[in-house]
Amino acid sequence: MHIGSKGWYVEKLKEKGIRYLEGRKIERYKTHILANMYNENK
């Protein structure tokens, strides 16, 4: 998996225990939204 890809962000957020955002699985969101979530929760 490439650093910065959608799958990479999903994996890192799941490691932190984040699986849902606003009642939807994080896999449903686009990469830029996941990147923002990751940077907020660093």
Q: Tell me, what's the pLDDT at 1?
A: 85
Coil, strand or helix at 15: helix
Residues 8-23 as b or e (16 or more Cβ within 10 Å = b): bbbebbeeeeeeeeee
Model confidence pLDDT, tens digit, residues 1-42: 899 999 999 999 999 999 999 999 999 999 999 999 999 998
Q: Which helix (H) or strand (E) holds 39?
A: helix 31-40
Q: Residue 30: its pLDDT value, please?
A: 97
Q: At what angle do helices 31-40 and 6-15 cross, to 10 degrees?
A: 30
Q: What is the pTM of this model?
A: 0.90
